[in-house]
């Protein structure tokens, strides 16, 4: 999938026996594949997906001061009442915090102030890391739905959820329009509506972690979702040590010995994404974690 | 169109059992799109 | 780096599945769409086969079949293993076991007097299983042949009550069959396949081989296929192969076996007519050459006035049989019901023509359960050498058989099936059916006492079929 310019318009083209609708959103190339020869239908489905993706992006973007997340983060210690959709996402994040024993923590976003994963060797100093760790910890947040209160200086970041959630919502949007075989792919987090015609499978290539552009593997899906967690694009390299961009909220540092890429298959993209994230957070124990959990996954080290 | 129930022969063992019953009681045989597999049921 | 799937989800995964399901259930408006119904059921194991791509299926089934009145009963377990490869290859292995017992008509017509039949029984000195004669028959010593002082030969004798359809109760047979098949895309050809099978029972052996080639067109909407099949059979009846149209005698006969070969082809067309309508049309052609008689079946020769049986002759069928059939199957998707409607027309060189119509309706009651009522209507004409009986004094025909399988009748099957698929990977189903044959038991030209007899030897049957499918990595 070639990267496209940030504001390029959407594009509809034939691809094999499908129509492929592509656009750019959430800093990612997005595509919708519909097995049909009906261009109008493909366009309608594509627009529905694009609309949903942009809606979610704008609602939960941490970069926009007037998004829900922006407003929560700017509340300065005051309580904020949130809408139903946000409440459901916060509930989900809270449960994931519990189930991961604190490894998955949406308050860890503040670490981006000191960690910039641009391939350079700017690893932050220990003192910087220590002071920021005071501002991390979901257990410090008061979440009594529908009201959330962050202690001053703390922030939430739904970036670890939003893309996968958007895939699931986008697919649901397509299913309202048509029951034809559809695949929604937002930068590698994807989901299919079901098998292709005649029970045939969707073919998905796993991107290699090196720059070769070759596929590391070929998967075939008949149903469900795939999500990939990995560092192939965002990392730091210092003294020969590669720091992946997934940070341990407890230590404020990148997870050590994390696999370069974890691809997980599950029923929904949200579930797949969370398993992949949790796997990476296990660092060295990623494969063991996935095996213990009986997850369908592919690790690349 | 892609679910099991829309495939041509989604339950081959059931089809084989039916064919076996009818083959042993009737004069006609086969007709479906697969070849071979006889038994001596006379 | 390949991870194998464990049999159960771990705690974390289970929890995540639940959390994700409730998040999406809450944020996505409920609708009648089946796809969304999955979100609400966190126990649903949505099916994906990858990474690793390849997956396998095991199908197992059990058929229990019973005809009323102590007639044939069959119990048939079967199992099938299919491995699907990454690029559309398939390998299939199957095993079936068949245990048949019960009474079967011996071909003679009923009489208003007691009838006695004697069939061969292996001589002393060999392993005789007397139980094989226990189904209402007795072991007798055969009278010595002319010139012999005393005979060591044994026979199995059974009597039939007046006005009853003569049945031989002594049959008990076990069969085991094995088959394999392989198919794969090859170069520019959509699918190429071949396979074979072997089946053996106490008195019959069949070896089969087949090859198939198929090509897709029109973005896979159209498939044209040609398969060739051949079969080599050997019949080695208990008691040896009788000489056709000679009197029924208990002596051990020669030759001990006779064979038959079959060759044929099926030309098929599959077409996706619309998104909801899949159609299949097959033309089959078959040639069979060799021994096709039922070695145990006799035809009564009756007195031209009284209709009483005077003797019994072994049946005879032509050595050659050519048959053709045209089969048309339609699958129509009218969510939540899928309709399957098929028609078949058959015609052969023995004078048999038949029509079959089958309809089934698969109705999804909930995501994990469906019911499928079905009905089949069948009608066939008699083979041109079919006769209920022969008349003494008239010239002997070249071929004659009283086998109801070759007679004129209509048959209706009523069936009902229920299936459960709690996860995307397993299915358990149960199918029950009742098969009913109706034929003319009182032909207008019946002679003497035969006017009072029911000459139709066809049957009804009830069957139950239990199946279990399981897909796995």
pLDDT at B3 over 80: no
Q: Is residue C66 part of a domain?
A: no
- Please list every residue in chain B whose beta carbon sits closer than 8 Å to the beta carbon of residue A200: 2
- A145 token code pair: 């739905």
Question: Residue C91: what are its φ and ψ, rounded to 5°?
Answer: -125, 130
**Which residue, among A224, A225, A247, A221, has the nearest Cα to A234 in the 3D structure?**
A247
Gap between the terminal Cα atoms of chain B = 39
Q: How confident is the prediction for chain A on average, in pLDDT?
A: 84
Residue of C nearest to B21 (CA): C65
- C25 token code pair: 């259930």
CB distance from C20 to chain A under 8 Å? yes
Interface chains of chain A (3 or more CB pairs under 8 Å) = B, C
pLDDT at C376 over 90: yes
Residue C15 domain boundaries: 1-44
* Count of domains for chain C: 2
Q: Mind telling me how many Å the CA of B7 is from chain A's nearest CA?
A: 7
A283-294 per-position pLDDT tens digit: 888 889 998 888
Q: Between C9, C31, C275, which is nearest A176 by CB?
A: C31
Question: Cβ separation of B21 and C195 shorter than 8 Å?
Answer: no
Residue A92 domain boundaries: 68-159
pLDDT of residue C53: 42
Residue pointed to by tokens 């998104």: C275
Are A254 and A247 in contact, with CB atoms under 8 Å apart?
yes
CB atoms within 10 A of CB A4: 16
Q: Mind telling me how many Å the CA of C398 is from chain B's nearest CA?
A: 20
- Please list every residue in chain A whose beta carbon sits closer than 8 Å to the beta carbon of residue C87: none
Q: Is residue A139 part of a domain?
A: yes
Mean pLDDT of C158-172: 88
* Count of domains for chain A: 1
- Please list every residue in chain A whose beta carbon sits closer than 8 Å to the beta carbon of residue B1: 197-198
Query: Cβ contacts of residue C149 below 8 Å, gap of 6+?
Result: none
- Please list every residue in chain A whose beta carbon sits closer than 8 Å to the beta carbon of residue C9: 293-295
Q: Is residue C124 part of a domain?
A: no
Question: Cβ separation of C268 and B33 shorter than 8 Å?
Answer: yes
Question: Cβ separation of A196 and B2 shorter than 8 Å?
Answer: yes
pLDDT at C131 over 60: no
Question: Cβ separation of C264 and B35 shorter than 8 Å?
Answer: yes
Q: Mind telling me how many Å the CA of B35 is from chain A's nearest CA?
A: 22
Taking the mean position of all CA atoms in its chain, how far away is CA C365?
30
Name the helix (H) or strand (E) containing B19. helix B12-25
Question: Residue C238: what are its φ and ψ, rounded to 5°?
Answer: -65, 125
SS3 track for A214-271: CEEEEEEECCEEEEEEECCCCEEEECCEEEECCEECCCCEECCCCCCEEEEEECCHHH
Are C425 and C471 in contact, with CB atoms under 8 Å apart?
yes
pLDDT at C379 over 80: yes
pLDDT at C1 over 60: no
- A23 token code pair: 């656009």
Q: How confident is the prediction for chain C on average, in pLDDT?
A: 86
Q: Mind telling me how many Å the CA of C446 is from chain A's nearest CA?
A: 56
Taking the mean position of all CA atoms in its chain, how far away is CA A157?
12
Beta-sheet pairing, C390-391 with C369-380: unpaired
Q: Is residue C397 part of a domain?
A: yes
pLDDT of residue A215: 62
Question: Cβ separation of B40 and C206 shorter than 8 Å?
Answer: yes
More confident residue, C425 or C93: C93
pLDDT of residue C18: 86
**Which residue, among C232, C234, C239, has the nearest Cα to C204 in the 3D structure?**
C234
Q: Is residue A116 part of a domain?
A: yes
Can you tell me the distance from the alpha carbon of C370 to that of C364, in angstroms, rounded to the nearest whole number?
Answer: 4
Question: Cβ separation of A265 and C24 shorter than 8 Å?
Answer: no
CB distance from C8 to chain A under 8 Å? yes
Q: Is residue A105 part of a domain?
A: yes
pLDDT at C253 over 60: yes
Interface of B with A in 10-29 (CB under 8 A): none
Question: Cβ separation of A274 and C17 shorter than 8 Å?
Answer: no
pLDDT of residue A66: 81
Task: Quickly state the pLDDT bin for C416 (edges 50, 70, 90).
Answer: very high
Question: Cβ separation of A267 and C17 shorter than 8 Å?
Answer: yes
Q: Is residue A81 part of a domain?
A: yes
pLDDT at C60 over 90: yes
Are C396 and C245 in contact, with CB atoms under 8 Å apart?
yes
Can you tell me the distance from the alpha carbon of A87 to that of A73, in angstroms, rounded to the nearest whole number?
Answer: 15
Q: Is residue C215 part of a domain?
A: yes
What b-and-e string marks burial along C186-221, b requiring 16 or more CB atoms within 10 Å of the CB? eeeebbbbbbbbebbbebbbbbbebbbbbebeeeeb
Whichever domain contains C332, its CATH number is 2.40.160
Are C363 and C390 in contact, with CB atoms under 8 Å apart?
no
C99-128 per-position pLDDT tens digit: 999 999 999 999 999 999 988 887 544 433
Question: Cβ separation of C48 and A221 shorter than 8 Å?
Answer: yes
Can you tell me the distance from the alpha carbon of C356 to that of B28, in angstroms, rounded to the nearest whole number?
Answer: 10
Question: Cβ separation of C53 and A266 shorter than 8 Å?
Answer: no
Can you tell me the distance from the alpha carbon of C272 to that of A198, in angstroms, rounded to the nearest whole number?
Answer: 9
Whichever domain contains A128, its CATH number is 1.10.3980.10
Interface chains of chain B (3 or more CB pairs under 8 Å) = A, C
Q: Is residue A35 part of a domain?
A: no
Q: Between C203, C270, C362, which is nearest B5 by CB?
A: C362
Residue of B nearest to A179 (CA): B1
pLDDT of residue C94: 95
Q: Is residue C467 part of a domain?
A: yes
A36-74 per-position pLDDT tens digit: 988 889 999 999 999 899 889 888 988 888 889 988 998
What are the 10-residue block averages of pLDDT along chain A, 301 residues in total?
47 86 88 90 91 89 85 89 90 92 90 76 81 90 91 90 94 91 90 89 72 65 86 60 75 83 90 92 89 86 77
- Please list every residue in chain C whose beta carbon sits closer than 8 Å to the beta carbon of residue B6: 278, 331, 333, 338
ipTM of this predicted complex? 0.88
C297-315 per-position pLDDT tens digit: 999 999 999 999 999 999 9
Can you tell me the distance from the alpha carbon of C224 to that of A244, in angstroms, rounded to the nearest whole number?
Answer: 53
pLDDT of residue B35: 39
**Which residue, among A227, A236, A230, has the nearest Cα to A275 in the 3D structure?**
A227
What whole-number percentage of chain C has pLDDT above 70? 86
More confident residue, A134 or C289: C289
CB atoms within 10 A of CB C449: 20
pLDDT at C3 over 50: no
Q: Is residue C200 part of a domain?
A: yes
pLDDT of residue A123: 78
Can you tell me the distance from the alpha carbon of C195 to that of C191, in angstroms, rounded to the nearest whole number?
Answer: 13
Are A162 and A56 in contact, with CB atoms under 8 Å apart?
yes
- A31 token code pair: 């595509």
**Which residue, among C250, C253, C256, has the nearest Cα to C139 in the 3D structure?**
C250
Q: Mind telling me how many Å the CA of C404 is from chain A's nearest CA?
A: 41
DSSP letter assigned to residue B4? G
pLDDT of residue C194: 95
Query: Cβ contacts of residue C394 below 8 Å, gap of 6+?
Result: C304
Q: How far is CA A260 from CA A64, A205, A257, C215, in A?
A: 30, 16, 9, 42
Range of weakest confidence among A79-93, A198-212, C137-151, C331-345:
C137-151
Q: Is residue C121 part of a domain?
A: no
pLDDT of residue C435: 97
CB atoms within 10 A of CB A3: 9
Can you tell me the distance from the alpha carbon of A188 to that of A232, in angstroms, rounded to the nearest whole number?
Answer: 12
- A26 token code pair: 């959430």
Can you tell me the distance from the alpha carbon of C281 to that of C258, in angstroms, rounded to the nearest whole number?
Answer: 35
Q: Is residue C419 part of a domain?
A: yes
């Amino acid at each position: 999938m070639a990267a496209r310019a940030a504001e390029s318009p959407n594009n509809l083209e034939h691809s094999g026996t499908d129509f492929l609708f592509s656009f750019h959103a959430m800093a990612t190339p997005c595509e919708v594949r519909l097995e049909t020869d009906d261009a109008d239908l493909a366009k309608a489905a594509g627009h529905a997906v694009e609309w949903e993706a942009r809606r979610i992006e704008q609602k939960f973007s941490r970069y926009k001061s007037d998004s829900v997340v922006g407003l929560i983060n700017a509340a300065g210690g005051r309580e904020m009442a949130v809408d139903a959709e946000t409440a459901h996402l916060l509930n989900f994040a809270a449960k994931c915090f519990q189930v991961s024993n604190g490894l998955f923590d949406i308050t860890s976003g503040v670490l981006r102030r000191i960690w910039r994963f641009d391939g350079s060797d700017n690893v932050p100093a220990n003192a910087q890391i220590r002071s920021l760790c005071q501002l991390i910890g979901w257990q410090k947040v008061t979440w009594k739905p529908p009201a959330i209160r962050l202690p001053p200086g703390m922030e939430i970041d739904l970036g670890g959820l939003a893309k996968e959630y958007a895939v699931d919502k986008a697919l649901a949007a397509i299913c309202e329009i048509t029951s034809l075989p559809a695949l929604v792919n937002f930068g590698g987090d994807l989901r299919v509506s079901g098998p292709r015609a005649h029970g045939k499978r969707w073919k998905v290539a796993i991107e290699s972690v090196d720059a070769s552009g070759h596929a590391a593997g070929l998967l075939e899906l008949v149903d469900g979702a795939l999500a990939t967690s990995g560092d192939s694009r965002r990392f730091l390299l210092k003294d020969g040590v590669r720091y992946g961009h997934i940070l341990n909220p407890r230590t404020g540092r990148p997870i050590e010995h994390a696999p370069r890429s974890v691809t997980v298959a599950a029923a929904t993209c949200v579930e797949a994404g969370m398993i992949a994230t949790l796997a990476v957070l296990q660092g060295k124990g990623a494969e063991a974690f996935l095996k213990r959990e009986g997850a369908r996954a592919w690790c690349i080290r | 169109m892609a679910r099991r129930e829309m495939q041509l022969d989604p339950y081959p063992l059931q089809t084989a059992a039916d064919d076996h019953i009818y083959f042993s009681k009737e004069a006609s045989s086969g007709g479906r799109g697969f070849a071979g597999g006889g038994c001596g049921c006379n | 780096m390949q991870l194998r799937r464990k049999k159960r989800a771990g705690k974390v995964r289970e929890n995540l599945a639940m959390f994700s399901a409730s998040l999406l259930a809450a944020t996505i408006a409920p609708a009648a769409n089946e796809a969304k119904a999955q979100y609400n059921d966190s126990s649903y194991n949505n099916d994906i086969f990858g990474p690793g791509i390849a997956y396998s299926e095991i199908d197992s089934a059990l058929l229990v079949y019973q005809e009323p009145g102590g007639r044939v009963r069959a119990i048939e377990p079967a199992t099938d293993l299919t491995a699907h490869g990454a690029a559309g290859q398939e390998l299939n292995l199957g095993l079936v076991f068949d245990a048949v017992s019960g009474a079967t008509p011996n071909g003679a017509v009923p009489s208003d007097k007691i009838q006695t039949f004697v069939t061969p029984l292996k001589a002393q000195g060999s392993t005789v299983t007397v139980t094989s004669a226990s189904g209402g028959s007795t072991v007798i010593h055969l009278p010595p042949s002319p010139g012999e002082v005393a005979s060591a030969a044994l026979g199995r004798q059974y009597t039939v009550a007046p006005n009853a359809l003569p049945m031989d109760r002594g049959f008990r047979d076990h069969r085991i069959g094995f088959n394999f098949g392989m198919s794969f895309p090859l170069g520019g050809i959509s699918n190429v396949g071949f396979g074979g099978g072997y089946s053996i029972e106490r008195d019959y052996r069949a070896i089969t081989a087949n090859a198939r080639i198929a090509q897709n067109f029109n973005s896979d909407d159209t498939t044209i296929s040609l398969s060739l099949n051949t079969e080599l059979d050997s019949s080695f009846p208990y008691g040896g192969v009788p000489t056709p149209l000679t009197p029924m005698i208990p002596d051990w006969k020669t030759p001990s076996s006779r064979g038959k070969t079959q060759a044929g082809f099926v030309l098929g067309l599959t077409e996706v007519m619309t998104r909801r309508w899949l159609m299949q049309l097959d033309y089959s052609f078959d040639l069979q050459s060799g021994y096709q008689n039922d070695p145990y079946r006799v035809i009564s020769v009756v007195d031209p006035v009284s209709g009483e049986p005077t003797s019994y002759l072994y049946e005879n069928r032509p050595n050659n049989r050519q048959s053709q059939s045209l089969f048309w199957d339609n699958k129509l998707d009218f969510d939540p019901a899928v309709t399957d409607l098929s028609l078949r027309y058959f015609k052969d060189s023995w004078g048999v023509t038949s029509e079959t119509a089958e309809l089934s309706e698969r109705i999804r009651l909930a995501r994990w359960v469906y019911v499928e009522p079905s009905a089949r209507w069948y009608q066939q004409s008699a083979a041109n050498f079919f006769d209920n009986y022969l008349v003494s004094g008239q010239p002997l025909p070249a071929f004659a058989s009283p086998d109801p399988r070759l007679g004129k009748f209509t048959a209706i099957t009523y069936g009902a099936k229920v299936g459960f698929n709690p996860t995307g990977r397993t299915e358990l189903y149960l199918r029950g059916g009742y098969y009913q044959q109706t034929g003319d038991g009182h032909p207008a030209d019946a002679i003497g006492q035969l006017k009072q007899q029911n000459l139709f030897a066809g049957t009804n049957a009830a069957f139950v079929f239990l199946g279990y499918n399981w897909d796995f990595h």
